[in-house]
Structures are given as structure tokens and as C-alpha cells.
């Protein structure tokens, strides 16, 4: 049985145009399953409804239609059922600079969910658990980080705290809504590897939302491509990237900048192969890449050697 199952999930947002009220369908019926120990990536461009799906699963938005089943039980918005659901389903937000309260210490951010779920009793035990969580996300020395406030931390460190906070209630499902898109390119990979490691250790079901196909392919088992509120393509990660069937997926894959496809790269490679003898050719257009507009290009290519060269 799937840990979390989403059936025909729909969300309409009311739009006010003067007196008239219309409904804007942000998500038009989405189905998928999240299973323990595996990652599903939800990719799509801005406004495709992927964040709305995440917010509905985290119960920050009420779905207009469809069902969310946690371990086969329908999710409820009533108080009692919600508490159990909340401790099972946690979320990491996109912007680490907005997701921590500037007024409170790091320890406060981690203590509250621990106390809320009643897993820890006593001050010493609480403190020990907070430091353990910080160590798990590689924020050491933990006792020094616990007493700091968010403004004393860098973006990557903040995102590690946000991940620790999501892990605090010992959830079974983790939703990561573009967890690295606001971070510096140099630390993105670290955060993604951390998430991957924690997923292995905790056997989490992860929903990884991104617009970066390269990391989606590398860090997930299954990819769902969303376009205008609908899933246009789904399948195992490599299949979706290497053999896209939907026109939109093909455009998205081509939009990612890939050095290997450019004319300049080929020339440079040829130069290295021939012994570094630059020939200064007269070929004018050096960097026209064969694909679509790079203006809509998602995140930067990462250094992990995963840029899906077909």
C-alpha cells in the first residue's frame, strides 16, 4: 500500500474581476502515489500548479476535489485527524530566508514540533534531541547552532535547519518544495545529498518539487511533468528525460543548458584532442545551442555529471 496516495486532486482559485467572479483551475485532477523509500519528482514551469499540489498535501490549502489518502486513510481537515496527519507529513519550503522566524532561536524552531507531538519529555531529553537533529543535518557544533537566531546563519545553514525541523516529528512523508532553488549553486548539491541520505536512513516517501530536470533525474525514481495543472508525462526518471513523449517535456529538456551540445564546446574539445593548438576559425556564431530558448531554462547545471546528455 502506498504511504501517501493522491486521487484526482483538484484546486480552483476564485478570481475577482470587478464584480464578476470566475474560477481559475490551478490543478486539474492529479493522481500519484508516494512510497516509502522512493522519491517522486514533480517538475514543471512556474505556474504549472506543482506548488499548489504540495500545499494541498501539506494541508495548507483545501482541495476543491479529489482525495488525499495517508496509509489508506482519507486526510481530514478536522482537528483530531489533522494532528496525526501533520506529524506524518512534513514540508521543506522554498525560501530559507522566509521559513524561519527571525525572532526565535534555532532551538525554538526544533523544540516546538518535538513537544507538539509529545515524543519527548523533560528539558534535558528535549535539548539532547534538538542537538541530535542538528547533527543529523551536519550543523556542528550543535550546541552553538541551537542558541543562534536565523539571521546569523547562511542560506544553506538555514535550509538545513528547515530540514531538521521537518524531520523532528519523525514523519513518513516529506514534501520538498524547490528546496534548493533559492540557494547558491555551490551549496545546492550538498543540500540535495543531505536530503537523499536522510531519505535512505528514515525510509521516507519524498515528493521533490523542482523545475530543474537534471537534479530531478539524479535524485528521484519517478518523474511527473506538470503543465497547466495537469500531469502531461510520467514514468521512471531516465525514461522521462531520455525518451520524452509529450511535446512539453521535450521542450523542457531541451531548454536546459548543456555544454556538450554547443558549437563552442565541440570546438574546445577538438582543440584539446589535437594538442591545444587553437586555430581561431572564422566561424561566427559560436554558441548557438540546438535547443529551445534558454530564457525559460531552469536551474543551473550541476557538477555531478548528471546533465542528461541524450
Residues that bind another protein (CB under 8 A): 58-60, 82-83, 86-87, 89-91, 93-95, 98-104, 112-113, 116-117, 138-139, 148, 151-157, 160, 162, 165, 168-169, 186-187, 189-190, 193-194, 197, 303-305
Please state the closest distance from residue 195 (CB atom) to another protein, in A. Answer: 11
Instruction: Supply 307's cell numbers.
Output: 546533465
End-to-end CA distance of the chain: 35
Q: Is the Cβ of residue 25 or residue 156 nearer to another protein in the bound state?
A: 156
Please state the closest distance from residue 30 (CB atom) to another protein, in A. Answer: 20
Number of C-beta neighbours around residue 18 at 10 A: 5
Q: Is the Cβ of residue 112 or residue 271 nearer to another protein in the bound state?
A: 112
Tracing cell 470587478 back to the chain, one arrives at 18
Give, in degrees to the nearest 5, the angle at Cα 43 between 82 and 297: 140
Please state the closest distance from residue 179 (CB atom) to another protein, in A. Answer: 12
For residues 162 and 92, give the distance between their C-alpha atoms in angstroms, rounded to a whole number: 6
Q: Is the Cβ of residue 177 or residue 222 nearer to another protein in the bound state?
A: 177
Q: Is the Cβ of residue 65 or residue 141 nearer to another protein in the bound state?
A: 141
CA-wise closest residue to 55 among 1, 6, 101, 119? 6
Please state the closest distance from residue 281 (CB atom) to another protein, in A. Answer: 28
Please state the closest distance from residue 31 (CB atom) to another protein, in A. Answer: 23
Q: Is the Cβ of residue 59 or residue 228 nearer to another protein in the bound state?
A: 59
Tracing cell 530564457 back to the chain, one arrives at 295
CA-wise closest residue to 13 among 51, 63, 55? 63
Own/partner contacts of 109-116, CB < 8 Å, gap of 24 or more, are 109/161, 109/165, 110/134, 110/146, 110/161, 110/164, 110/165, 110/168, 113/165, 113/168, 113/169, 114/168, 114/169, 116/87, 116/169
| 3-state DSSP assignment of residue 222 | strand
Q: Is the Cβ of residue 149 or residue 251 nearer to another protein in the bound state?
A: 149
Q: Is the Cβ of residue 67 or residue 184 nearer to another protein in the bound state?
A: 184
Number of C-beta neighbours around residue 272 at 10 A: 10
Instruction: Supply 163's cell numbers.
Output: 530540514
Please state the closest distance from residue 288 (CB atom) to another protein, in A. Answer: 28
Please state the closest distance from residue 61 (CB atom) to another protein, in A. Answer: 10
Q: How far is CA 162 from the centre of its chain?
A: 13
Instruction: Supply 150's cell numbers.
Output: 536565523
Q: Is the Cβ of residue 141 or residue 296 nearer to another protein in the bound state?
A: 141
Please state the closest distance from residue 201 (CB atom) to another protein, in A. Answer: 14
Amino acid at each position: 500500500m502506498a504511504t501517501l496516495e493522491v486521487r484526482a486532486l483538484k484546486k480552483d482559485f476564485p478570481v475577482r474581476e470587478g464584480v464578476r467572479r470566475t474560477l481559475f483551475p490551478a490543478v486539474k485532477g492529479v493522481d500519484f502515489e508516494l512510497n516509502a523509500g522512493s522519491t517522486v519528482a514533480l517538475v514543471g514551469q512556474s505556474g504549472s500548479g506543482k506548488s499548489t499540489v504540495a500545499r494541498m498535501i501539506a494541508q495548507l490549502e483545501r482541495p476543491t476535489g479529489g482525495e488525499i489518502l495517508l496509509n489508506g486513510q482519507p486526510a481530514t481537515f478536522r482537528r483530531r485527524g489533522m494532528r496525526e496527519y501533520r506529524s506524518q507529513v512534513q514540508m521543506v519550503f522554498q525560501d530559507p530566508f522566509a521559513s524561519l522566524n527571525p525572532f526565535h532561536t534555532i532551538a525554538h524552531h526544533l523544540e516546538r514540533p518535538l513537544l507538539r507531538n509529545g515524543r519527548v519529555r523533560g528539558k534535558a531529553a528535549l535539548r539532547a534531541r534538538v542537538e541530535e537533529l542538528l547533527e543529523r543535518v551536519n550543523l556542528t557544533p550543535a550546541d552553538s547552532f541551537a542558541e543562534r537566531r536565523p539571521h546569523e546563519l547562511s542560506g544553506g545553514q538555514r535550509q538545513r535547519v528547515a530540514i531538521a525541523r521537518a524531520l523532528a516529528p519523525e514523519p513518513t512523508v516529506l514534501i520538498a518544495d524547490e528546496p534548493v532553488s533559492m540557494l547558491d549553486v555551490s551549496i545546492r548539491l550538498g543540500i540535495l545529498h543531505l536530503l537523499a541520505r536522510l531519505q535512505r536512513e528514515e525510509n521516507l516517501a519524498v515528493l521533490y518539487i523542482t523545475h530543474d530536470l537534471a537534479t530531478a533525474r539524479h535524485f528521484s525514481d519517478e518523474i511527473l511533468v506538470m503543465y497547466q495543472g495537469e500531469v502531461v508525462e510520467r514514468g521512471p526518471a531516465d525514461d522521462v528525460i531520455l525518451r520524452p513523449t509529450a511535446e512539453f517535456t521535450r521542450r523542457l529538456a531541451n531548454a536546459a543548458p548543456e555544454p556538450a551540445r554547443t558549437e563552442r564546446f565541440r570546438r574546445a574539445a577538438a582543440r584539446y584532442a589535437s594538442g591545444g593548438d587553437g586555430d581561431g576559425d572564422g566561424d561566427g556564431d559560436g554558441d548557438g545551442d540546438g535547443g529551445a530558448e534558454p530564457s525559460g531554462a531552469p536551474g543551473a547545471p550541476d557538477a555531478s555529471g548528471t546533465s542528461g546528455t541524450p
